């Protein structure tokens, strides 16, 4: 039985007197891919930041001792304006060039990228650099906030295919925030539907019914029906 690496019990998060997350409980086991699904403003990013220990909360968050966590934020637009090369960016974390090359190749970028400036990257390449940055120090768990969907630099590998590959290679456990329903059942083995309160929890194929999605997104659900043929 895989080990439980995270236990969350009765989690409540209030920011500026507004309840953002109410009474959320779940567990994550080693090797899980947990997707957190919900509309904008539902508390998904807040949940990741709370799990990272940067926001105040009530309830219990218990990580397995010694666990290492990598975090891929949703956007870091200002970094693109800093005149840093990729090599210099990785040096900020004390990474040697050899390790930087290895991590870049893991995310599908060759060593020619070392001397490229951050501002010259396409959005797909930039996303990969952020994933690579999160993989420094070999984390056990990757927290990933809203990957940009769509085709990427290799012409076919989407960011999700990359994550699936990294999960196998690095034996990662992944917590993923996304809007993209088609990815959930393909990629994850557990889903939490969150709109401030938990609306569903469980195996995607079992819990992502049209009724649940209506509850989660309101009438916007038409947008999703084409995923359900």
pLDDT, tens only, 193-222: 999 999 999 999 999 998 999 898 886 555
Q: Is the dihedral of CA 216, 37, 34, 5 positive or negative?
A: negative
Angle at 199 (CA atoms; ends 177, 175), nearest 5 degrees? 25
Q: Report whether 8 contacts 61 (CB < 8 A).
A: yes
Burial class (CB in 10 A: 0-12, 13-18, 19+), 79: middle
Residue environment code for 23-32, b if the CB has 16+ CB neighbours within 10 A, otherwise e = ebebebebeb
Give all domains of the chain, ordered by start, each with its CATH number: 1-68+140-147+172-229 (3.40.50.300)
166, 168, 169, 174 alpha-carbon torsion, rounded to 10°:
40
Closest CA to 129 of 167, 170, 49, 73: 73
Interval 92-107: pLDDT, tens? 999 999 999 999 999 9
Distance from C-alpha of 77 to C-alpha of 72, rounded to nearest angstrom: 13
pLDDT in tens, 28-43: 999 999 999 998 888 9
Confidence tier at 151 by pLDDT (50, 70, 90): very low
- Sheet of 197-202: strands edge to edge? 69-72, 141-145, 173-178, 33-37, 190-195, 197-202
What is the spatial distance between Cα 53 and Cα 57, in angstroms, rounded to a whole number? Answer: 9
Q: For the whole model, what pTM was predicted? A: 0.88
* Distance (Å, whole) CA 40 – CA 218: 12
Give DSSP secondary structure letters for 109-132. Answer: --GGGGGSBGGGS-HHHHHHHHHH
Check residue 223 and give its pLDDT: 46
d(CA 73, CA 89): 16
């Amino acid at each position: 039985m895989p080990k439980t690496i995270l236990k969350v019990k009765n989690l409540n998060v209030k920011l500026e007197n507004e309840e953002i997350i109410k009474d959320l409980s779940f567990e994550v086991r080693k090797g899980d891919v947990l997707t957190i699904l919900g509309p904008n403003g539902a508390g998904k990013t807040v949940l990741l930041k709370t799990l990272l220990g940067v926001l105040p909360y009530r309830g219990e968050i218990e990580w397995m001792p010694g666990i290492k966590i990598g975090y891929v934020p949703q956007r870091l637009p200002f970094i693109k304006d800093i005149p840093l090369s990729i090599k210099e960016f990785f040096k900020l974390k004390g990474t040697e060039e050899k390790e930087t090359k290895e991590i870049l190749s893991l995310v599908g970028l060759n060593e020619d990228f070392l001397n490229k400036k951050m501002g010259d990257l396409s959005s797909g390449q930039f996303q990969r650099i952020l994933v690579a940055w999160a993989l420094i120090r070999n984390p056990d768990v990757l927290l990933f906030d809203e990957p940009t969907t769509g085709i990427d630099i290799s012409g076919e590998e989407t960011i999700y295919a990359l994550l699936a590959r990294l999960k196998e290679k690095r034996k990662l456990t992944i917590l993923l925030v996304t809007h993209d329903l088609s990815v959930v059942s393909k990629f994850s083995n557990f889903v939490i539907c969150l709109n401030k309160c938990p609306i569903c929890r469980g195996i995607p194929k079992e819990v992502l019914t049209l009724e649940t999605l209506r509850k989660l997104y309101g009438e916007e659900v038409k947008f999703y029906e084409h995923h359900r043929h």
